[in-house]
Amino acid sequence: MRNTLSISSLVCLIAIHLSGIARADTTRVLFIGNSYTYTNDLPNMFRLLALSLGDTVETGMSAPGGYTFQQHTTNTTTQAAIAQGDWDFVVLQEQSQLPSFSPAQVAAEVYPFATQLVQQIQQANPCTETIFLMTWGRENGDASNCASYPPVCTYSGMQQRLYESYVAMAEQNSAWCAPVGAVWRAYRNAQPTAALYTDGSHPNVLGTYIAANTLVSTIFRHATVDATYAPGALSNEQITEVRTLASEVVADSAAIWNIGVNDPLAQFDWTDLGNGAILFANNTMGAVQQQWTFGDGNTSTDFDPQHTYGGAGTYLVELSVEDDCGRTGSASSELAIIISTVPERDLGRDLDLQYDQALQQIMVTSINGPATVELFDIGGRKLYHGSIHGSTRTITLQRSFHGLLFWTLGSQDGLRRSGRFVIP
């Protein structure tokens, strides 16, 4: 396919623009792109929108007209900006047509240089998050490349290829994607006659406002519906719709956009030591700090704490972690504590329990009529909770089970019984 890349503007804007007041809680964002980025000063609109939501931002920009990722990998101003290394985020926006070309051409002419830029950013600061800014299809498609690659003949075809390429770049590079193009498409679908372009390609103020809202929702991971900033040229209806759509598109598909891909994934397990004593195991990779809450008012900052509960019950255990870049993650799980001094009952008086090891199934029968039954393993993990109505209830376990199993039974007479049995 031929490379017919339109450059509507000969402006070559290569500069670092710093906005806002630098302070400890300031978020620093570098924009690397071209005329799609500098038109209507997207970095400043993003800054003002974030500020209206209480987020202080400092921005930088390197955006020569028509520039590609390949050109940015060697541009001295872009490289100097990256080398500062004190950016929290770097936003990358490729030339407007290239990512919409055929998968083979994009793989050869876009992806390698996207990866090279991410590597340069990581070398300058391993804690910087890279965000690929998904652009939008041209108003009526790309006429200059329609004959050689028909999918770009229409807006929808071009937009779909941009979507696919930008999501792929984020996935390939453990980076985020700011889905500006997806929000743009949602706005066009909602308002088919809306004007978003100045020349069929570049954004008007409304188009740039879509980009700014999408970026704020992506970077700060919160909706922009309560923002107070908007360009004076927009109507209240336009402002409300943009904020709503941007917030919804980002939040509804955060996993697709890879948002938070490098956050530590909090994970934990535990071992029941008996008599309410639990040994917790922090299985999180890369965490340097952790905070445990045990659900009974007690906390710990130990890596693998041991905690003793004062009584039986169900407790919500939460683990919050932080890595050496300040990124956070959390996990929680309910823990059922059954004090081992509970007397062991004769199952024949209340329940009949049978275990089929080959099928990994427990067959439970309530002897004395309808009852509510709970089963727990020795670690306090709930295996089953449900009603038994005299007939046998079959419970399929996720793994082969051996050892001590606890049960509780609540019958219609209002009594609660409990006990344990051993699966050999």
pLDDT band at 386; cut points 50, 70, 90: confident
Please report how many Cα atoms fall inside a 13 Å half-sphere around the Cα of residue 168, on the Cβ side: 16
287 to each of 42, 262, 303, 320, how far by Cα in Å? 35, 12, 9, 10
CB atoms within 10 A of CB 11: 14
In this model, does residue 48 exceed pLDDT 60?
yes
Determine the Cα angle at 252 with ends 327 and 26, to 5°. Answer: 35
**Which residue spans within 11-116 are E strands per DSSP?**
12-14, 27-32, 57-64, 89-92
Read off the pLDDT of each residue in 60-77 and give the average, rounded to a whole number: 97
Q: 41 Cβ partners below 8 Å, 6+ apart?
A: 208
Residue 10: per-residue pLDDT: 32
Q: What are the tokens at 86?
A: 């004190």
Helix H or strand E segment including 299: strand 299-300
Task: For the chain, give the percent of residues with pLDDT over 70.
Answer: 82
CATH 3.40.50.1110 domain range(s) in the chain: 12-252
Read off the pLDDT of each residue in 136-165 and give the average, rounded to a whole number: 97
CA gap 60, 344 in Å, rounded: 69
Residue 350: per-residue pLDDT: 62
Q: What are the tokens at 10?
A: 């000969």
Maximum separation of any 2 CA atoms in the chain, in Å: 88
In this model, does residue 24 exceed pLDDT 80?
no
Give the DSSP per-residue string, 335-370.
EEE--TTSPPP-HHHHEEEEEETTTTEEEEEETTSS
Residue 389: per-residue pLDDT: 66
Q: Work out whether strand 89-92 and strand 27-32 pair parallel, antiparallel, or are unpaired.
A: parallel
Residue 12: per-residue pLDDT: 36
Maximum mean pLDDT: which of 24-28, 141-145, 334-338? 141-145
What would the pLDDT profile of 309-366 be if each residue is shown by its tens digit? 998 899 999 999 999 999 999 999 999 887 644 444 444 456 666 777 777 777 777 6
Q: 268 Cβ partners below 8 Å, 6+ apart?
A: 280, 281, 282, 283, 284, 317, 319, 331, 333
What would the pLDDT profile of 208-243 be if each residue is shown by its tens digit? 999 999 999 999 999 999 999 999 999 999 999 999
Read off the pLDDT of each residue in 375-383 and give the average, rounded to a whole number: 69
What would the pLDDT profile of 99-132 be if each residue is shown by its tens digit? 999 999 999 999 999 999 999 999 999 999 999 9
In this model, does residue 299 exceed pLDDT 60?
yes
In this model, does residue 413 exceed pLDDT 70?
no
Read off the pLDDT of each residue in 245-254 and give the average, rounded to a whole number: 95
The CATH code that applies to domain 12-252 is 3.40.50.1110
The CATH code that applies to domain 347-423 is 2.60.40.3080
CA gap 113, 200 in Å, rounded: 27
CATH 2.60.40.10 domain range(s) in the chain: 268-337
CATH 2.60.40.3080 domain range(s) in the chain: 347-423
Residue 45: per-residue pLDDT: 98
Which CATH number is 268-337's, of 2.60.40.10, 3.40.50.300, 3.40.50.1820, 3.30.70.260? 2.60.40.10
Report yes or no: 91 and 133 within 8 Å, Cβ to Cβ.
yes
Residue 416: per-residue pLDDT: 64
Q: What are the tokens at 62?
A: 């390197």
Q: What are the tokens at 35?
A: 């005329």
